[in-house]
Amino acid sequence: MAGVKFEKGSKEWYMFHDYWKLCQKFWVPEDNDEYFEAVVRETDKFYKKYRDIGLGKKIALAFVDTIDEQYRAMRK
């Protein structure tokens, strides 16, 4: 299996591409309701688009957890 990759243009390829965009858009937490509403809205869209890929749900949940951890650390 070494060297096996998912094909460019596959749903998995697009999932990671969209995840990169999600990270770029929201990686640094902001201290306002609009930011968190947008994170929830965009992450939900990502999840719904990729929920048929088992990893899609895990990535979406991990992203929200990471943003929450970063926000809590920032508030200390």
**Closest among 19, 66, 65 to 45, alpha carbons compared:** 19
**So what's the pLDDT on residue 6?**
80
pLDDT at 2 over 80: no
- 2-21 mean pLDDT: 89
Across 31-59, b (16+ Cβ under 10 Å) vs e yields eeeeebeebeebbeebbeebeeeeebeeb
pLDDT at 37 over 70: yes
